[in-house]
Amino acid sequence: MIIKNKALCNKCKDIIESKHVHDFVSCKCGAISVDGGRDYLKRGAKDWNDLIDLSEETEEPPKPGKTIKEEKSEKEGFKWLVNGSWK
Ligand SMILES: [Zn+2]
């Protein structure tokens, strides 16, 4: 279970948190984004090195069907990672 859906931007040092399922939040400089609230962890970044994950989850075995999904968006090089392992 997700407690905090949070990330830190390495570029602007902004800490962003998605509090609801459709709470899409970007950092000040726009390099990273989080989405999904407590439902799922969705991360967006142009460069994964800019994103430091600060999310907290309770220790629970991962649900079957948990998949790593990487998408490329239309926006230049902006990648999304949903429920993946970015640690
Ligand atoms: Zn930033």
Residues with CB under 5 A from ligand 1 (ion): 9, 11-12, 14, 27, 29, 31
At 56, phi and psi to the nearest 5? -120, 135
More confident residue, 13 or 79: 13
User: What does the domain layout of the chain look like in residue ranges?
Assistant: 2-82
Q: Give the rounded distance of the alpha carbon of 34 from its chain centre.
A: 4
Residue 31 in contact with residue 79, Cβ under 8 Å? no
Its pTM stands at 0.72
* Distance from Cα 26 to the centre of ligand 1, integer Å: 8
* Distance from Cα 39 to the centre of ligand 1, integer Å: 23
CA-CA-CA-CA dihedral for 10, 11, 12, 14, to nearest 10: -30
Using alpha carbons only, give the angle 18, 24, 26 rounded to the nearest 5 degrees: 90
What is the pLDDT, as a whole number, of residue 71? 55
What is the pLDDT, as a whole number, of residue 27? 97
